[in-house]
Structures are given as C-alpha cells and as structure tokens.
Amino acid sequence: MMANLLLGLQWGDEGKGKIVDVLTQNYDIIARFQGGPNAGHTLEFDGIKHVLRTIPSGIFHPNAINLIGNGVVIDPVVFKSEIEGLAKFNIDLPNRLLLSRKAHLILPTHRLLDAASEAAKGKAKIGSTLKGIGPTYMDKTGRNGLRIGDIELSDFKERYRALAEKHEAMIAFYDVSIQYNLPELEKEFFDALETLKKLPFIDSEEYLAKAQHDGKSILCEGAQGSLLDVDFGTYPFVTSSNTTAAGACTGLGIAPNKIKEVYGIFKAYTTRVGSGPFPTEDFGEDGDTMARVGNEFGSVTGRKRRCGWLDLVALKYAVQINGVTQLMMMKADVLSGFETLKVCTAYNYRGAQISHMPYNIEPENLTPIYREFKGWQADLTGMSNYEMLPEELTAYIEFIENEIQVPIKIVSVGPDRKQTILR
Ligand code: IMP
C-alpha cells in the first residue's frame, strides 16, 4: 500500500493540522516526519480548539495510530504538557501514540543554546521560536545527539550529563547574558521522561514497512512549510529540517517509490512569522486586514504574523520541489470583503522580469509583479459546496490551478472541520 504525504507550501501556518484532522478518517496511520515543538497545529471541532505541537494531528480520531518519526525532535517537557492537555479526551495513548527510537531529544540546554545563539546574532536574528530546534538538529548532524532509544540505556544519565556540560561551555562562549537555573530545568526534564516512557518506543521504519506490506494506509504529516526548508527555503531564515517531500523519506524511512499522492497546502494569501525576506508582504491596510480577519497570531509564540498577497512564483517553486499532486487552499474566507485582490505572477529581478525564484529575494534585488482580481463581499463561512462560492472566488481558484497545473481539491472556508469544501 502506498503512503500519501501532506505538507505546507509557504512559510508554515497553512492549516495542515485542520486538513490532517479532516483526512484522518481515511488512514490507519498518521506519521509526523520532521520538526518539533516549534510547530503548532491547530484543530477545531465540536466547539473545541486544540493546538498540537509534536503529536500528529490524527490523535482525535478513534482508530488512527499516530507515529512520531525519526526525523522529529522531541522536547519531553513540552511533550508531557501536550499529553496532559489530551487527558480530558480519554484517548488510549499507549495504543495510539508511538515514538521512533531514532527521534532526537531536545535537552533543556538546547533551548538555552537557541536563546544564546539568537541573542548573539542581534539584528540578524532568525526569529526562532526558541524551542531548541536548531541546536538539536546540529547535534544530530554533528553526531552528538541523544535519541529516544538512548533513554533505555543504563548509562543514559551519564550521556546526558556529558552533552549538557558541553552545551554549558558553548553557552558561556556566546558571551551573552542568559539567566537560567539548570538543576530546576533538569528536574523538569527527567520528570517528563517518565511520561514519555509510558508510550511504546519502536523501530518505526520497520513498523511502517510492515504496515505498508500489510495494506495499511499511511498519511505522512509535515510541519512548517517548504519555504522554511533548510535546503530550499529562504536560508538562513529557515528552520533546521527538510520540510519538503524528501524529508518524509528521511524522517520516516519510507522509500520514494512507496509514496503516491503529495497534498500541498497553501493559504489563499501569504503569511510569515519571524525574520527573512517576504516579497509580497503588505505593510499597509490590506496586510493588517488579513492579520485581523485571519487571526494571524502564532499558536506557539503568539507573535503577529506578517501578511501579504499570494505569491504564485513561490507557490510554483514549492509545488515543483515537492512533486505536489493535489492542492488544498486554506482560509479563502479571510479574503471576503476586499474590493480588489492581487496575485504575484512574476518578479522584477534587478530590472528583468523573471518567473522563477532566484537565489537573492531580498527587496533590494526583487519586487513582485501583480495581477489584480475582482474581490467578493459574501461571507463564505456557511458555504458547504463549490457551487455556492462567489464567481469571483471560483475565478481566483481556477486561475491558480491553471497557472500551477495541479488541481485544487479542497477549499477551506473556516477553522472548523465542517467548513471544508471538497471538489
Ligand atoms: P525555529 O525552527 O524555531 O528555529 O525557527 C526558525 C524560523 O522558522 C523562524 O522564522 C520561525 O518563526 C519559523 N518557524 C518555525 N516553526 C514554524 C511554524 O510551525 N510555523 C511558522 N513558522 C515557523
């Protein structure tokens, strides 16, 4: 049985959590493949709003197995609070939530290192969520990290101490003032490990290979977005993992020829949180309206998201890198009420018109070229099928499809599970 893959095509926050939740009923296994608690996947159903950080978004469906893959980095402290937040839902977690032994652990000192590194960068800071993501992936590729499977080793505490001491020396090297009480943070960390130990640690690549062999359906769930990919994103203003399709292969051990559909999620406009170039960012009233109507505030950090028009050049680039086979457009309802909508269809790059994403996308090198569309006034949030949508919106959707040559299969018109139009 082939697996399917779902990922974000912009700078994250596209609404992946909602769509995984909507699609979960069709899958036996939901497997998260990269990132960590820097993500905040928001789900809304039955009047409840819930934010997941590390746990896959299939956790609310009674039959799905949720798997945290080797490509994910896990902070036991955040994870414990996520588990506690789920208590009221009475989910049989030990039978529904599995952890890869090869997933790396975020230590308290990784979080401190993240803070020290950002402080040392000053104005050039990445705008990290400060969850320790960068330092943990650095230890992974530097071959120093601790993994879930190491928790079972008799000398885990000594290994922990050796790494934490190295981190302390590095924090001192940064020479910035970071206040912390390590014994307190360590107590919290080791307490949280006890919660983690109540869940099965598995050889997840074997588990998934057997599941595919036995005909089980798998949905691979990405976090962040393609433009935050460490290789193909707006480096260095990116996260530290491969958020693109290849990340599902390395982050789960699923071979490329065992993946079929690639679902690409994008917002009807664009947002970005943190620093870095954003060609279609709107600094005026339109951007403010998108932020206000779309409630564009980070679910992890509470930071206001930068907003702007849809960038089709960037979207095409993401579709190409990921091999997207089906598109899903989110938050179409947020665009109701604009007289005119704009879509960036090309860039003016150092005086020449181009239609691909170049190496330098800073404002001094590049300005967007827009095509305008007539807006619509109708409230979409109660609409339940494609025929109900205003014709200005269907023209907008069909223009995007035509440019990208990939069908838009879902149009989301509100945060609730029910506000999802299938085509
Ligand atoms: P980090 O991954 O926390 O180090 O953050 C690196 C960059 O990625 C920053 O600009 C963050 O704002 C951004 N980022 C990380 N995770 C997310 C996410 O889930 N949604 C949107 N942006 C994110």
pLDDT at 302: 84
Q: Answer yes or no: is the C-beta of 247 below 6 A from any ligand 1 atom.
A: no
As a whole number of angstroms, the distance between CA 349 and CA 346 comes to 9
SS3 349: strand
- Global pTM reads 0.96
- Distance from Cα 177 to the centre of ligand 1, integer Å: 23
Pair type for strands 29-32 and 65-68: parallel
Q: Answer yes or no: is the C-beta of 116 below 6 A from any ligand 1 atom.
A: no
- Distance from Cα 213 to the centre of ligand 1, integer Å: 35
Strand ranges for 83-137 from DSSP E: 97-100, 104-105
Q: Answer yes or no: is the C-beta of 277 below 6 A from any ligand 1 atom.
A: no
- Distance from Cα 277 to the centre of ligand 1, integer Å: 14
Q: pLDDT class for 48, splitting at 50, 70, 90?
A: confident
Pair type for strands 97-100 and 201-202: parallel
As a whole number of angstroms, the distance between CA 117 and CA 102 comes to 26
- Distance from Cα 392 to the centre of ligand 1, integer Å: 33
Residue identifier of the C-alpha nearest atom 15 of ligand 1: 38
| pLDDT mean over 269-290 | 97
| pLDDT mean over 10-19 | 92
As a whole number of angstroms, the distance between CA 61 and CA 301 comes to 27
Residue 95 tokens, joined: 């039978």
As a whole number of angstroms, the distance between CA 51 and CA 114 comes to 23
pLDDT at 237: 97
As a whole number of angstroms, the distance between CA 268 and CA 345 comes to 14
- Alpha carbons within 13 A on the beta-carbon side of 140: 24
Return the best residue to mutate from 227, 228, 299 for the ligand 1 pocket (most ligand atoms within 8 A of CB). 228
pLDDT at 42: 84
- Alpha carbons within 13 A on the beta-carbon side of 36: 30
Give, in degrees to the nearest 5, the angle at Cα 280 between 368 and 222.
125
Q: What percent of the chain has a predicted confidence (pLDDT) above 70?
A: 100
- Per-residue model confidence as pLDDT tens digits over 330-343: 999 999 999 999 99
- Distance from Cα 129 to the centre of ligand 1, integer Å: 6
Contact (Cβ atoms closer than 8 angstroms) between residue 125 and residue 138: no
Q: Answer yes or no: is the C-beta of 129 below 6 A from any ligand 1 atom.
A: yes
Give residues with Cβ within 8 angstroms of 359, minimum separation 6: none
Return the best residue to mutate from 38, 111, 296 for the ligand 1 pocket (most ligand atoms within 8 A of CB). 38
As a whole number of angstroms, the distance between CA 278 and CA 271 comes to 9
Contact (Cβ atoms closer than 8 angstroms) between residue 151 and residue 196: yes
- Distance from Cα 339 to the centre of ligand 1, integer Å: 32
Q: Answer yes or no: is the C-beta of 245 below 6 A from any ligand 1 atom.
A: no
Q: Answer yes or no: is the C-beta of 273 below 6 A from any ligand 1 atom.
A: yes
Q: Please list the alpha-helical segments (H only) found in 122-264.
A: 133-141, 156-174, 182-196, 204-213, 246-252
Please, which residues bridge with residue 341 across strands?
Answer: 373
pLDDT score of 23 more than 90: no
Q: Answer yes or no: is the C-beta of 52 below 6 A from any ligand 1 atom.
A: no
Q: Answer yes or no: is the C-beta of 34 below 6 A from any ligand 1 atom.
A: no
Residue identifier of the C-alpha nearest atom 5 of ligand 1: 128
Residue 358 tokens, joined: 């170049």
Q: pLDDT class for 211, splitting at 50, 70, 90?
A: very high
Return the best residue to mutate from 113, 235, 273 for the ligand 1 pocket (most ligand atoms within 8 A of CB). 273
Residues serving a catalytic function are 13, 41
User: Helices then strands (H, E): number in the chain?
Assistant: 12, 20
- Per-residue model confidence as pLDDT tens digits over 329-386: 999 999 999 999 999 999 999 999 999 999 999 999 999 999 999 999 999 999 999 9
